[in-house]
Amino acid sequence: MPIIKNNLKLYRVQEDLTQEQLATIIGLSRESVLFIEKGKHYPSIKIAMKFARFFKVKVDDIFYWEG
């Protein structure tokens, strides 16, 4: 069964941001960013689009199917 993976940590580190900083920018808690990065929580479409807009990439560049 396919699962959703993500490159969120990669994009965050490229921008030299902490989880706390990214969370503040997007409007989430640091724990939410941590859980999304670890694949323990999937963001809503609205939050996924906020990440993509901030990093200036497509949602599919951050979140993708594997398997």
Name which CATH class applies to 3-58.
mainly alpha
Per-residue pLDDT, 15: 98
**Annotated domain spans of the chain:** 3-58
Beta strands in the chain (DSSP E): 3-6, 63-66
Per-residue pLDDT, 67: 81
Mean pLDDT by 10 residues, the chain (67 residues): 94 98 98 97 97 98 94
Per-residue pLDDT, 1: 79
Q: How many CA atoms lie within 13 A of 22 on its CB side?
A: 27
